[in-house]
């Protein structure tokens, strides 16, 4: 029978720190997954079609995920635990793209009113 042999060659590609990059990006991946799931379930629950719910979930994910580092920075600057940055991203997904569009339209109207007043 073959006994276990020690491997004679060194394994330069076997660095235990190779998986560190995955651990560094895990919170952002988790925020993306939960944000997508929340927005998708919300869209389906409201009676939207599968396509509309899927597109709304993708849009919410694309809007909320880049804000995670901002919320993380705010939490760290206030001395709060980093997990506090997670709920605002998921809450944006709960509000949905319709709410975000209404707020963006309101800001656009305020900006146009300011420019009209400024240019007169």
pLDDT per position as a tens digit, 43-68: 899 888 899 889 989 988 998 889 89
What's the chain's Rg over C-alpha atoms? 23
Taking the model in full, what pTM does it have? 0.70
C-alpha distances in Å from residue 119, one per residue of 5, 26, 106, 116: 83, 49, 20, 5
Domain that holds residue 76: 25-119
If one counts the domains in the chain, the total is 1
7 in any annotated domain: no
Identify whether 19 is part of a domain.
Answer: no
How far apart CA 35 and CA 91 sit, in angstroms, is 8
Report if residue 45 sits inside a domain.
yes
Mention every residue, 6+ apart, whose C-beta is less than 8 A from residue 60: 35, 36, 38, 39, 92, 93, 96, 97, 100
- Tens of pLDDT, residue by residue over 75-91, are 999 999 988 998 998 88
């Amino acid at each position: 029978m073959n006994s276990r042999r020690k491997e004679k060659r060194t394994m330069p590609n076997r660095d235990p720190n190779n998986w560190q990059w995955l651990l560094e990006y895990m919170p952002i991946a988790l925020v993306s997954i939960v944000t997508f799931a929340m927005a998708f379930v919300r869209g389906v629950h409201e009676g939207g079609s599968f396509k509309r719910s899927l597109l709304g979930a993708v849009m919410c994910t694309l809007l909320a995920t880049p804000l995670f580092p901002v919320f993380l920075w705010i939490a760290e600057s206030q001395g709060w635990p980093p997990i506090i940055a997670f709920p605002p991203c998921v809450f944006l997904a709960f509000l949905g793209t319709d709410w975000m569009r209404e707020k963006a339209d309101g800001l656009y109207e305020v900006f146009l009113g300011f420019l009209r007043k400024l240019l007169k």
